[in-house]
Structure 1
Amino acid sequence: VKQIGNTHNREMLPSCWDLTEAVIRHLLNMTDKEFFYWGEYLNEKAKQRQTQYKGPHQVFQENV
């Protein structure tokens, strides 16, 4: 008798909460210096993204 439904598929893929929990645990284990550098890295990435795609939000930021 074949089982209908993909019960084993759900176990292979990590759930959204598992990923969130892993990220939170990683952030909690970070030292202050690591956290600072991570924030700087994200800021740098955001700046690069803004220069690549000029949108209304960037025009607004330039005027401020």
Structure 2
Amino acid sequence: GGHSLMATQVVSRVRQTLAMEIAVSTLFENPTIAQLAEILVEQQLEQVDINLLEQILAEVDQ
């Protein structure tokens, strides 16, 4: 019912705002904002190019 419709809207907003894909089931498995944020951060970290990150950190340290 209504929860599935709201979950679909959240998935759509995440896709539009953050350019990230999440499954509706992810929302039901992680129902709090904190849990969802953790999942999204984990997904973003998986996308990070480690070499680029090391280069940026080296530049910041200089």
For the superposition of Structure 1 and Structure 2, which TM-score range results when normalised by the shorter chain?
0.3 to 0.5
Larger relative contact order, structure 1 or 2 (CA cutoff 8 Å, min sep 6): 2
Larger helix proportion of the pair = 2
